[in-house]
């Protein structure tokens, strides 16, 4: 078994070897959940359900996800709802489905290398939407080359075979994500930016809020 220092370096090297791996991972949430996130960090579904929390997910999809189990990097097995789901890109089919509500959506933009090299975190990742029967789940960074990075990082998925499923590939974190890993919050309008900045200032939290139209659909 690797020491913590060696495991950290191994993870870092594997991420550096995968040139397609994004610098940031994205957690998508709704305006109502912002206060909870800055107070509690980003929680998996099974923990978030115990506090005031608003989901954008379809109920039937959530029901399916709640029944899925997968193995993580520490060689333990958990339910999908025990892990925090992150996207490799902001522009996903999931966001496209709720684009009419984008003014109330925000992203936590998370440093990939900072989070994944925390050896107290376990993880898994998928080559598509985790709820799909066609999706393969991985728990070793040795398998990063098995993901379809061309579709994950492309401008569009609509013209790609199986593009919708693949574009929704996920990186899943156990047990939670503290706010120290959030590099910035991303919104698509100044009104939400101002609301969030007031909340952060009240908590003396120095995380920037950025309006970035490139993370949202027109």
21-56 pLDDT tens trace? 999 999 999 999 999 999 999 999 999 887 767 776
Give one DSSP letter per residue of 91-107, joined into a string: --HHHHHTGGGGGGEEE
Q: Quick one: tokens of 166?
A: 């693949």
Q: What is the pLDDT of residue 27?
A: 98
184-210 pLDDT tens trace? 999 999 999 999 999 999 999 999 999
Q: What is the pLDDT of residue 55?
A: 72
Q: What is the pLDDT of residue 50?
A: 79
* Closest-CA residue to 210 (of 69, 24, 59): 24
Q: Which residues of the chain have pLDDT under 50?
A: none
Q: What is the pLDDT of residue 181?
A: 98
Alpha-carbon distance 26 to 94, whole Å? 12
Q: Which residues contact 74 (CB under 8 A, 6 or more apart)?
A: 122, 174
Domain extent for 127: 4-215
What is the number of domains present in the chain? 1
Radius of gyration of the chain (CA): 17
């Amino acid at each position: 078994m690797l020491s913590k220092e060696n495991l950290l370096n191994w993870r870092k090297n594997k991420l550096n070897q995968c040139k397609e791996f994004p610098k940031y991972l994205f957690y998508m949430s709704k305006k109502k959940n912002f206060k909870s996130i800055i107070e509690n960090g980003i929680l998996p579904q099974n923990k978030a359900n115990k506090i005031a929390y608003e989901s954008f997910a379809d109920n039937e999809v959530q029901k399916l996800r709640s029944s899925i189990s997968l193995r993580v990097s520490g060689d333990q097995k958990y339910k999908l709802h025990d892990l925090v789901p992150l996207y490799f890109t902001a522009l996903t089919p999931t966001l496209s489905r709720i684009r009419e509500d984008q003014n109330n959506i925000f992203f936590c933009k998370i440093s990939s290398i900072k989070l994944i090299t925390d050896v107290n975190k376990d993880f898994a990742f998928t080559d598509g939407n985790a709820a799909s029967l066609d999706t393969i789940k991985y728990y070793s960074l040795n398998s990063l080359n098995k993901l379809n990075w061309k579709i994950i990082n492309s401008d569009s998925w609509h013209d790609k075979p199986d593009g919708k499923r693949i574009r929704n590939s996920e990186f899943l974190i156990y047990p939670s994500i503290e706010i120290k890993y959030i590099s910035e919050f991303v919104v698509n309008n100044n009104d939400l930016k101002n609301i969030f900045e007031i909340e952060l200032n009240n908590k003396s939290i120095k995380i920037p809020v950025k309006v970035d139209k490139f993370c949202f659909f027109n």
